[in-house]
Amino acid sequence: MELTINDKKYAFKFGIRFVEELNKIAGLEAKGMKFGMALSTQIPALQGYDPEALAKILFAANITEKPRLSQDEVINYLDSDADLEKLFKDVIAEITKSNATKLVAKKMKLGK
């Protein structure tokens, strides 16, 4: 997936590195133990059109790509230029297609 932000193209991939980064950003932690599972918690937020979840997901999906976006750049883009409805749909479509995420998406009925 690609987005043009401030006249610059950025790529986003929803593979294993995306899941790892999302777990760092939004993974579950209880009593000092880390459980990951960020994708399982962020999918319902994405389905509910939560812009904070979208920001975390986009930041994590850009982790392996160059050029890189900062979290602030992602947030500024979402606050100003983005067609949020289309972007939510595009991100959901990418998550349902990626080999690393499609099983979780299917089990959680993402995109249905």
- The torsion defined by the Cα of 14, 55, 93 and 44, in degrees rounded to 10, comes to 100
Going residue by residue through the chain, which has 112 residues, state the pLDDT in tens, using 9 for 90 and above: 999 998 999 999 999 999 999 999 988 777 887 777 899 999 999 999 999 999 999 999 999 999 999 999 999 999 997 999 999 999 999 999 999 999 999 998 887 6
Instruction: Quote the pTM value.
Output: 0.91
Helix (H, G, I), strand (E, B) or coil at 46: helix
